[in-house]
Amino acid sequence: MDTKTGCIKASALFLIIGIALAAASCSIFNFLPLEIKDWSPKEELIDSVEGIVISVSFSSQVDKVKTESSFSLLENGKRLEGKYEWPEFNSLKFIPVHTLMENAQYEIQVSTDCEDLNGNSLLKQFSHRFSTSSDRTRPEVISVSPNDESTVSGRQTPLVINFSEPVDKSSFYESFSVSPDISGSFKWASENSTVTFTPLEEYEYHTDYTVTVTEELKDLSFNTLNEDYIFKFSVGTDKDKPFILSAGESGGSLNLTADDPEDGILTVNSGWEADWNFTIIFNEDVDTDSLTSALDFSPAVNISMDNSGQKYLSQATLLPETRLEYGKTYKLSIDGSVKDREGSALEPLVYYFTVNGPNTKPPEITRIVFLEDPVSPFALTELNYGDTLSLADYPDSPGSTEGFFDIYISAADVLSVDMDELKLMVMSHFDISITNSAAEFITKGVVIDPESAGETPVPNPSPAADEIVARVFMDISNSSGTAGITELSLSEGFEDGNGNEIAGKWLMHLQKN
């Protein structure tokens, strides 16, 4: 191929590419949205109505019919009739049927129904307002409520602004702001010279709010404020922190003393009962949710609050869902997130208390007494761990004779013990076993407080004031000459009839020869 032929082919290729790019470019331009580039009059305040030209220019050639139907000139809110002229392909001129009036408000509007010849709609609705009023007096803010630098107690206190004259609502909405931001509704009065802003949400307590009306605010003649108008207010008249009047047992049996971290001494309250509830009394109402989240027990205790349905409360009763552990020291912390109605926060407090009250003391086995000779009512022998259990006066198997063991139980508040409950507890938890089949013990029954029940012999020694005796009757048979280890036990879960549970399984080992 010669040079001339190559050049011709290259030129043809570039020509095709150029045509394609041009076509693509035209296609792109065909889809550009329509815009308004210019309008007349541009001013907002017109000194004279003489010679005013009403016109709008577009970014491309438009559909005249659709453009004319989308155009409006409003005079004091009413649409004017008139005729249209097209001095250029993209420029519309409107001639109203009558001359524009003095002291009137006008607005030029073009809706998005306006389209160019490619069917592209106007990007957004166009609006321009102007006034032919001779009024050149700027509007002023003559009063506000609340007053500048004041404090309000209500968390939805309305804001009221009084102007020297009616103002343009649209410009007010654009110029008005509250910081921190808060949503609300507007109500107008006095021919739009007074506006009330009512918050739709609550102000934050102890917060400073700034209200601004910028100089963009206009009156009905489009005169603006001379400068931004600003006023401030704060929320919450109660600056005092809430405090706890008392914390302790719900019935008042024991009031807790908070620990003072500054004195270097750990204050631990003693005498708390395992089944008590807590009552905290404040000097004023506090927010229930903030109190709930501020409470912490260590070791952990699951609690419910019997008055948690209230939004605010001055007295809270805490109900542990499980019985507290006897002998353990607990820590109740109330952090500083507890707030009163106006958001003032409680000073953090810590209470230490030990569960060792006399009424919830776990039962203990203090002694075991055995009827060693079934035919002698005075042959009572106290057994100690490791002692020899003598069964010499009991017959060899297969015969048996009734004997008994007196179990002395130290219990809290023995006078209120449920005897029937304690009897069932002994029956189900007391057990005797022996190795090598050296003897046999078969439980026959249990009598609580045998002396009061008329049983003989009476327990010896007599039980102490905090003791109660459970007499366990048994058929006992011996295997003479056979030694074994006897185990007496009281299993876990044993309770004293007042709901107090033994600390752990009790055991006593005896030697039977």
Asked if 237 and 206 count as a contact pair (C-beta separation under 8 A), the reply is no
For the domain with range 141-235, which CATH number is right: 3.40.50.2000, 3.10.180.10, 2.40.50.1040, 2.60.40.3710?
Answer: 2.60.40.3710
The strand ranges marked E within 421-505 are 430-434, 439-448, 467-478, 484-490
pLDDT tens per residue across span 358-371: 888 999 999 999 99
Phi then psi for residue 231, to 5 deg, are: -140, 155
Residue type, 450: P
CA-atom Rg of the chain in angstroms: 48
Asked if 208 and 236 count as a contact pair (C-beta separation under 8 A), the reply is no
Q: In sequence order, what are the residues at sequence separation of 6 or more whose Cβ sits closer than 8 angstroms to the Cβ of residue 361?
A: 326, 411, 412, 500
Q: Residue 268 pLDDT > 70, yes or no? A: yes
Q: Residue 393 pLDDT > 80, yes or no? A: yes
Q: Residue 110 pLDDT > 60, yes or no? A: yes
Q: In sequence order, what are the residues at sequence separation of 6 or more whose Cβ sits closer than 8 angstroms to the Cβ of residue 404?
A: 370, 371, 471, 472, 473, 474
Q: Which of 11-25, 167-181, 286-300, 388-402 has the lowest mean pLDDT?
A: 11-25
Q: Residue 193 pLDDT > 90, yes or no? A: yes
At 236, the pLDDT band (50, 70, 90 cuts) reads confident
Name the pairing type of β-strands 126-131 and 78-79: unpaired
pLDDT of residue 29: 52
* Listed residue (173, 176, 171, 165) closest to 141, CA to CA: 165
Mean of the per-residue pLDDT values for the chain? 91
Q: Give, in order, the Cα–Cα distances in Å from 37 to each of 89, 227, 279, 385, 474.
A: 14, 31, 74, 109, 113
Q: Residue 22 pLDDT > 60, yes or no? A: no
- As a CATH number, domain 36-131 is 2.60.40.3710
At 7, the pLDDT band (50, 70, 90 cuts) reads very low
Domain map of the chain by residue range? 36-131, 141-235, 244-360, 364-512
Decide whether 141-235 matches 244-360 in CATH topology.
Answer: yes
Reading the block at residue 438, the tokens are 């050296």
pLDDT of residue 118: 95
Q: Residue 23 pLDDT > 50, yes or no? A: no
Reading the block at residue 180, the tokens are 């921190």
pLDDT tens per residue across span 428-470: 999 999 999 999 999 999 999 999 999 999 999 999 999 999 9
Whole-angstrom distance, CA of residue 395 vs CA of residue 384: 24
Reading the block at residue 504, the tokens are 């752990």
Whole-angstrom distance, CA of residue 221 vs CA of residue 229: 19
Whole-angstrom distance, CA of residue 493 vs CA of residue 427: 12
* Listed residue (413, 417, 336, 390) closest to 511, CA to CA: 390
Query: What's the number of CA atoms in the CB half-sphere (13 Å) around residue 49?
Result: 14
Reading the block at residue 418, the tokens are 């449920």
pLDDT of residue 136: 87
How many other β-carbons are positioned within 10 Å of the β-carbon of residue 458? 14
Q: Residue 14 pLDDT > 60, yes or no? A: no
Q: What is the mean pLDDT of residues 54-81?
A: 95
Whole-angstrom distance, CA of residue 462 vs CA of residue 383: 15
Whole-angstrom distance, CA of residue 493 vs CA of residue 52: 102
For residue 280, the Cα-to-chain-centroid distance in whole angstroms is 20
pLDDT of residue 19: 52
Report the CATH architecture of 244-360. Answer: Sandwich (2.60)
Reading the block at residue 212, the tokens are 């601004």
Whole-angstrom distance, CA of residue 278 vs CA of residue 252: 10
Reading the block at residue 26, the tokens are 């035209």
Whole-angstrom distance, CA of residue 89 vs CA of residue 57: 9
Percent of the chain at pLDDT > 90 equals 79
Asked if 476 and 456 count as a contact pair (C-beta separation under 8 A), the reply is no
* Listed residue (393, 481, 407, 499) closest to 447, CA to CA: 407
Whole-angstrom distance, CA of residue 454 vs CA of residue 469: 13
Read off the DSSP letter of residue 415.
G
Please tell me the total number of residues recorded for the chain in this structure. Answer: 513
